[in-house]
């Protein structure tokens, strides 16, 4: 099979998926298809790449029949890239693809000293506060603990529950489903930043409900691994 045909097969896979997703008529152009799906995180993220590949597709298929040479021929690297991109769009990786370890947590009644020890030994700056049933109730940060310890009524033996009011109001957490895609998750971190907030942890449960048992925890430092998994070039 030629490189051009390999490229077209991968492109057609993407286009067919997008048409099915949008319910668009077969005569709707690819650019209009992207415009219709511009709010879909994967399309928003890869839109410029998809448009460039669309231009290359047009150069390959719209050639003069009287000429034996193609207007354009994809390179091996381009073919490899679009094949990977087709996988990322048709089956986008979700948060569980990060292979995160079991969450390190604390409870409302745990002493401040214990949480500081955990954060220091594990080099982390935030911990989910969970119930006895494993449900995430809140998040405690290292800065919150330090703010509490700097107050007049503080004690290392005080419980975490006494510290939560010292957390910076701009520090927030969200609950997400185990099926949330990595691109959607990265977008949520960026959106909070644009809103002047700091998304310190994304708490993963089965359906993204706060009442469900905590499965995984995603911190900003995990976004680098997430970015690698959604990179196709």
Q: What is the CATH number of the domain that holds 166?
A: 3.10.580.10
- CA angle, 77 then 47 then 2, to 5°: 30
* pLDDT score for 189: 96
Both tokens of 144, joined, read 């919150």
Q: What is the pTM of this model?
A: 0.88
* pLDDT score for 172: 95
Q: Does 201 lie in the same domain as 117?
A: yes
Q: Does 108 lie in the same domain as 66?
A: no
What's the alpha-carbon Rg for the chain, to the nearest Å? 24
Structural domain boundaries enclosing 71: 3-91
- Do the beta carbons of residue 141 and residue 171 sit within 8 Å? yes
* pLDDT score for 154: 75
Mean pLDDT (10-residue bins), the chain, 233 residues? 90 95 84 93 95 94 62 88 97 95 94 93 95 94 92 83 90 97 96 95 98 97 95 91
Q: Does 17 lie in the same domain as 54?
A: yes
Burial of 17 (0-12, 13-18, 19+ CB in 10 A): middle
Q: Which of 54, 72, 91 is the last residue of a domain?
A: 91
- Do the beta carbons of residue 15 and residue 30 sit within 8 Å? yes
Q: Does 29 lie in the same domain as 101?
A: no
Q: Does 144 lie in the same domain as 63?
A: no
CA of 11: how far to CAs of 39, 114, 219, 222, in Å? 20, 54, 34, 31
- Do the beta carbons of residue 67 and residue 43 sit within 8 Å? no
* pLDDT score for 170: 93
């Amino acid at each position: 099979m030629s490189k051009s045909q390999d490229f077209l097969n991968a492109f057609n896979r993407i286009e067919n998926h997008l048409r099915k997703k949008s319910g668009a008529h077969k005569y709707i152009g690819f650019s209009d298809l992207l415009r219709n799906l511009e709010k879909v995180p994967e399309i928003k993220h890869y839109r410029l790449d998809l448009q460039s590949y669309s231009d290359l597709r047009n150069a390959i298929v719209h050639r003069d029949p009287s000429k034996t040479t193609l207007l354009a021929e994809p390179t091996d690297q381009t073919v490899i890239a679009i094949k990977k991109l087709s996988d990322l769009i048709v089956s986008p990786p979700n948060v569980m693809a990060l292979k995160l370890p079991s969450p390190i947590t604390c409870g409302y009644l745990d002493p401040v000293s214990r949480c500081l020890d955990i954060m220091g030994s594990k080099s982390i700056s935030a911990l989910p506060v969970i119930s006895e049933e494993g449900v995430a109730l809140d998040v405690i940060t290292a800065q919150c603990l330090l703010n509490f310890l700097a107050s007049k009524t503080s004690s290392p033996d005080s419980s975490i529950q006494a510290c939560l009011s010292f957390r910076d109001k701009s520090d927030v957490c969200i609950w997400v489903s185990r099926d949330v895609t990595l691109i959607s998750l990265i977008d949520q971190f960026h959106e909070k930043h644009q809103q002047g907030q700091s998304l310190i942890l994304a708490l993963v449960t089965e359906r993204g409900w706060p009442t469900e048992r905590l499965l995984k925890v995603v911190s900003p430092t995990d976004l680098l691994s997430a970015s690698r998994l959604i990179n196709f070039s």
